Structure 1
């Protein structure tokens, strides 16, 4: 006979929290509820792993560093310290361009999809969502009130946060479009 587990108040609370939060994960509200902040039509896909955001003129790598392919299914998203992310950006040549850089926090926030969460990004345009609990991406913006910190964008909830520069985070690169 199988052994039954005893339900404790804590285990019941955890189960309830999972039931409440799980349906909202990786979900977008319909366009009729909240208009899209980064509709697919606002991006030009160049067919080489890059897209240009028409409203900002910025060209983005569709996949985080470490991933490639049409749906970013090849490889895994690498994580870097802040200094490592800046160096990786300087060393990257991709799609015939060598002027890739780490975006500042406002540029990185410009591709947030505000009607979505977990991830808070247009997954059609940017399919490379890290297969981990972390949706944090470094920006090039240092944190003014602490020299050991820099800004990052959380593509899980759409927030901007500071983090220690020695923490490991994901990277999505940008370049000024022509």
Structure 2
């Protein structure tokens, strides 16, 4: 009975892990190839085409040298803006919430769950991330990018969503 339980547990675990694995189109060109990125520090990555420096992990996670660990935090849009402001207050490096176009530049359109370059942004939650771009039609909503499938949508600003900060490359970098 114990071996049957162990076997069933392993089977369930392998199905769950397979369901969480990134799936990409076969024979498709990457929209965010590894060559477009370079490591700046252990926790930051340069996206060469845009000149933007990104946090490697979602807010709440930490890069351990090979992957992002810990629980990514979700927050409202206002909390995300305040988090970025507070985060950069002492650093004075220009960290901020990315706009829609900036965040969408990270989306790997040939992959899902997550739809992002897994080499440079490991363990990204396959869900929505805030942008700083408000909806022009509805002041109670702002744009998000979903790293489930690389889609964009507007969400109510009081919903909780993930966050990854960005900054412009400094002249000394």
Same fold at TM > 0.5: yes
1:155 matched to 2:147? The reply is yes
Alignment-derived partner of residue 80 in structure 1 = 75
CA contact (8 A) 2:93 2:167 kept: no
TM-score for both structures, normalised by structure 2? 0.81
CA contact (8 A) 2:56 2:120 kept: yes
State the distance in 1 between where 2:21 and 2:57 align.
Answer: 21
Task: Give me the CA root mean square deviation.
Answer: 2.1
1:99 matched to 2:91? The reply is no
Rg (Cα) greater in structure: 1
State the distance in 1 between where 2:35 and 2:59 align.
Answer: 24
Match of 2:59, SS state, is coil
Alignment-derived partner of residue 51 in structure 2 = 57
CA contact (8 A) 1:67 1:128 kept: no
Written as runs of structure 1 = structure 2, the 5 A alignment for 1:1-178 is 26-30=22-26, 33-69=27-63, 70=65, 71-73=67-69, 75-93=70-88, 98-130=93-125, 135-178=127-170
Alignment-derived partner of residue 6 in structure 1 = none
Shift of 1:26: 2.1
Q: Call closer, same or farther: CA 1:175–1:111 in 2, change over 3 Å.
A: same
TM-score for both structures, normalised by structure 1? 0.79
Q: Which has the higher helix share?
A: 2
Deviates more, 1:44-53 or 1:142-151: 44-53
Shift of 1:23: 7.0
Q: Which runs of 5+ in 2 are unaligned?
A: 1-17
Match of 2:150, SS state, is coil
